[in-house]
Amino acid sequence: MAFKCRNTLRPYISDIEIFLPERTVSSFELENLINKKEKLLPEGSIERLFGVRERRYADADMQASDLGANAARSLVEKHGAETIDCMIFASASSDLFEPATANIAQAKLGLNCPAFDVKNACNSFVTALQIASSFIDANTYKKILIVSGEKTSTSIRFEPNDAEDLKKRLASLSFGDAGSAVMVEQSANGCGIYFQKFKTVGKHWELCTIKGGGTMFPADFEKSYFEGETAELANVFIKEGAGFVQSCFIEAGLTLSEIDYIFTHQVSSKSFDVLAAVSSFPRHKMIKVCDLYGNTASASIPISLYTAQKNGLLKHGDKIAIIGLAAGISISIQLMIWK
């Protein structure tokens, strides 16, 4: 069921910050790592395939909680730890199997509020945003901090066995590490989220996986690397997503021409362009960041929002659409009026 705010006291994103690790890895450098034992990738192929020029990799001792906490620290200082009612750690990545990474991030940030994890692959952030908006709409909490820390570089196999092994792990070469933090609270001026709808098609879960660490493969190190049928996954997104998004606009009583900016999860430049084409999204209204940061999983949408705000693109009253796409598969749309 779609969510529609009942009044003008809407949940809205009041603040946003990001954190990027210092180490920048170009696609050329990554090709050299992959080709160290055997030349499996032609020169320039990573950038041609994904449109990613560079990405950030976190140091070995930097955890997912550090990436998120580094992004959130300035928001905690700015707003005051005592004003934050709830913290959600929303990431595909996690520090440990147990406890929830939210506990670790909470301790690093010096917070005392309730905290918990939300894990929904690359849609972890948008799912947390839906939960946070529901909490605020129900007056359960007034100010919620959503923290994301993605260290997906640990799932890249930098020494593939052969060309076939590389093929099933190819999409991981677009991965980048990052952290983000978003403050969600209640507006009093009509700004904020006014429509949300999510769709899950679980029968396609095997198309994109990191299988290690769960009950299926609890101690199989080989399963800790990414595997994916990315071409087939893209086709599923096109088949399932285009009509879903268009129907949501109709349900919300909105046309594409009324949207000022569109923010989507970004796997690659190619997938970004395909999404624009099949959904009839105006390309100039879509904010692209994957060329500089790669696929940062659940942090990609917050990074896009932060970038647009920092560059002075987002203005008070702008109508924006957030489109979530994730392994599983899950698809989402959230419509909001910017603060």
Neighbours of 134 (CB within 10 A): 14
pLDDT in tens, 122-171: 999 999 999 999 999 999 999 999 999 999 999 999 999 999 999 999 99
What's residue 6's pLDDT?
Answer: 45
User: Reduced to 3 states, what is the DSSP secondary structure of residue 319?
Assistant: strand
Which of 68, 65, 129 lies closest to 103, judged by CA?
65
* DSSP states of 144-200: EEEEEEE-GGGG--SS-SSHHHHHHHGGGGGB--EEEEEEEEE-SSS-EEEEEEEEE
Which of 338, 16, 2, 45 lies closest to 187, judged by CA?
338
Task: Give the position of tokens 């970038």.
Answer: 307
Distance in angstroms (rounded) separating the CA atoms of residues 143 and 15:
11
Burial 99-126 (b: 16+ CB within 10 A, else e): ebbbbbbbebbebebebbbbbbbbbbbb
What's residue 1's pLDDT?
Answer: 41
User: What are the distances in angstroms from CA 64 to CA 61, 81, 148, 177?
Assistant: 10, 21, 8, 9
pLDDT tier, 231 (very low <50, low <70, confident <90, very high otherwise): confident
For residue 70, the number of C-alpha atoms closer than 13 Å in the C-beta half-sphere is 17
pLDDT in tens, 65-107: 999 999 999 999 999 999 999 999 999 999 999 999 999 999 9
Spatial contact of 2 and 245, defined as CB atoms under 8 Å apart: no
Look at the alpha carbons of 244, 5, 308, 257 in this order and tell me if their dihedral is positive or negative. Answer: positive
The lowest-confidence range among 120-124, 159-163, 174-178, 283-287 is: 283-287
Domains of the chain: 11-186 (3.40.47.10), 192-337 (3.40.47.10)
- State pTM to two decimals: 0.95
pLDDT in tens, 38-60: 999 999 999 999 999 999 999 99
Look over the chain and give the mean of its residue pLDDT values, rounded to a whole number: 94
Spatial contact of 162 and 84, defined as CB atoms under 8 Å apart: no
Task: Give the position of tokens 């055997």.
Answer: 38
Spatial contact of 53 and 80, defined as CB atoms under 8 Å apart: no
Strands 330-337 and 319-326: antiparallel
pLDDT tier, 188 (very low <50, low <70, confident <90, very high otherwise): confident
